[in-house]
Every structure is written in structure tokens, then in C-alpha cells.
Amino acid sequence: METATREVDLHRLDLRFADSRLIEPRAVEQLARSIERAGQLIACIAVVEDGGERLVVVDGYRRIAALRRLGHDTATIESWNCDLTQALLAVLARSHGRAFAAIEEALLLRELVHSQGLSQHEVARRCGRDVSWVSRRLQLVCAMPDTLLAAVREGSLSTWAAIRVMAPLARANPEHAQRLLGSLDSHPLTTRELHRWFEHYQGSAHRIRERLVANPRLFIDVLHAKDEQRADERVRQGPEGQCELDLRQVLALIARVRRCLQQLGPEGLAETLVPALTRVRNAAHALQSELGSYLDHDPHRDPQQRANPPGAGPQTARDQSPAQALA
């Protein structure tokens, strides 16, 4: 394709794909400092339309945002003399430059498939990817309502949280997803906290779910308080209490296995349960034997701490001062 690099006024640029880029103020600020120090080193890419009157930007939205932050009126543009579909495919196929986020790639692919009319096979062939990659990327945005996509673009919701938590919740209960998203605007949760919240939501009854959605921040704070309380209890009980708690959990697991025995057939019992039970029995015997050795012998395993360690010879009392000090 024919290309030409020139300075173009910012108001002449068509930023129709701005919604397919993440809004990252910190990255824009860093890029602005770099441009202020060394100038714009990499040109933005645009496609010529309407006989050169319109330049549709396909790559370089972050650079344009940095230039506007600095108060510049123009940008260095590399104009491509090709159709818009070919330009978008070329941007996706490029291996150099900054890596696109998965959600950005998905939005560009949606533009190619839904707006430009290309099939997934054609997109995969022309941007050097396989069809499964294109399909997986499209599933990211097809499952998300526009409100979730806007939250991801603005940075108030991580891509992981949108894909793993908000999208499944929106498919199952759109009302709860909207209410949760509204709560996160005023009382945000980290990605880990949101994942933990969703785990409890999935295992809760309907009336409990209503309370979880109504105040997710309060629920997470209660969980943190319980975690701290359990940690304090472990410190208070010491290692003996922790060992007792672990053994109680083992007993609870054994009881749960016994309840599941009726659901297992003879094949499952012989192939999986019997070998596992043998290993459990051997571990229990080893634990009992080791416990007996602790009970039958001197609890002080360090020879230096025993009253008369065999073969140790005369020992200096550790709580006495040296002879010179006594003199």
C-alpha cells in the first residue's frame, strides 16, 4: 500500500474507533512527558477517505490524547492509501508497537465482523491468526453489555473481573449485574475481592444474594473482620490448637466421603477410592507412630537443652557471666 507521512491538524482526524481503546490516564501522562522531551517519535496511522478530506485513525489514539494534553494542534500522521478493512487487519497483524489489551483486540474484531461484514475465517486468515483466537476474542465482548464495556474502558473495572465475574452475572441476572456495577462506582472492590464476592454469591440463596448485591463492600469488610478474628484465634491457640483444628477438618472430610459412597459405583471405588484410602491409612499410621515417639521420649530434641546430654561433656551454664566478670 502507498503511505505518506505528514503533519495534520487534530480537528481533521476522525476518531471513530476511540471506543475500542482503553482509557489509561497514567500511560497517557507518561507518553506526554516523552513527547514533550523528545517529540512525537512514532506517527499515528490513519486511512484516507473522501478523497483525502477525512483521515480515519486506526492506531495512535494514546498518542493523540498525549498531544492534546500538551496543547498541541497537530500530529504526525502516516496515511495509508487502502480501504478501512485492510487497515484494521494490518493493525491487528502487526507484531511491533505496544501490545493491545484483549478487550481492545475484541472490539476491533467486532468492528471487522459486524460492521465491515467479514467472516471470522476471513479475519483470521488476513490478520495471521487462527479462527479459534478470533472466536475467543469475540466472545469477550459479545457476552458484555455496553455498560460493562464502558466500565472496562474507563478503568473502573478490570478486564479479568468483567470477563470472569460481571459477564456471567449479567447473563444470569442482568438486574443484579447493573446494581453491582453501580455499587462499585461509589465503593470499589479489588479484583480479588470481587472474585471472592462472586464465589459467595454463587453459593447463596436468593434472599442472601439480594443483600450481597445491595452492599458488596459491607460483605467484604465482614469477611475481612472474620479472617482477622480467625488469625487472632490461631495465634491465641498456638501450634497445638492449629494441629487440633487440622485433625478436625480431616474428620469432616472423611465424613463427607462416607456420605458420597452411595453415589459411587464399584468401578469408581476400586479405581480411585481404594488406592487413596490406602495412602490415607498409611499417613495416619505414620502420624500415630511419630506422635508415640514424641510422647515416649524426652520432648527436648535439642541436646543442648537436656539436663545431662550423653557424650556432651561438661557444659557451661548459659545464664552465668564469664569468670572475668565475676572477679
Select from 53, 82, 111 the last residue of a domain.
82
Domain boundary among 213, 241, 256: 256
Phi first, then psi, for residue 205 (nearest 5°) are -75, 170
Q: What are phi and psi of 171, to 5 degrees?
A: -70, -40
- Examine residue 302 and state whether it is found in any structural domain, yes or no: no
pLDDT value at residue 308: 52
Residue 285 lies in a domain: no
Q: Position of cell 487462527?
A: 130
Instruction: Note whether 33 and 112 are same-domain residues.
Output: no
Tell me, what's the pLDDT at 20?
84
- 107-116 pLDDT, tens digit each: 889 888 888 8
On the question of pLDDT at 325 being above 60, the answer is: no
The pLDDT confidence band at residue 327, using thresholds 50, 70 and 90, is very low
Structural domain ending residue among the three candidates 54, 82, 110: 82
Domain CATH number, residue 76: 3.90.1530.10
Domain hosting 183: range is 145-256
My answer on whether 183 and 195 are in the same domain is yes
Pair 72, 167 in one domain: no
Backbone dihedral angles phi then psi of residue 81, each to the nearest 5 degrees: -95, 75
Interstrand relation of 74-81 and 2-9 (parallel, antiparallel or unpaired): antiparallel
Q: For the whole prediction, is pTM greater than 0.85?
A: no
Residues 44 and 132 in one domain: no
The string of pLDDT tens digits covering residues 240-264 is: 777 877 888 888 888 888 877 777 6
Domain count, the chain: 3
- Tell whether 323 is covered by a domain: no
For the chain, what percent of residues have pLDDT higher than 70? 85
Give the number of other Cβ atoms within 10 Å of residue 92's Cβ.
22
- Residue 89 and residue 129 in contact, taking contact as beta carbons nearer than 8 Å: no
- The mean pLDDT value for 285-304 works out to 71
Tell me if 90 is assigned to some domain.
no
Residue at 103 is within a domain = yes
Residue 130 has pLDDT above 50, yes or no: yes
Q: Do 10 and 106 have their domain in common?
A: no
Q: What is the pLDDT of residues 31-58, one digit of tens each?
A: 999 999 888 988 999 998 876 677 899 9
| 228 compared with 62, residue with greater pLDDT | 62
Cβ(106)–Cβ(140) under 8 Å?
Answer: yes
218 lies in the same domain as 164:
yes
Q: Which of 128-151 are b and which e, b meaning 16 or more Cβ less than 10 Å from the residue's Cβ?
A: ebeeebbeebbebbeebbebbbeb
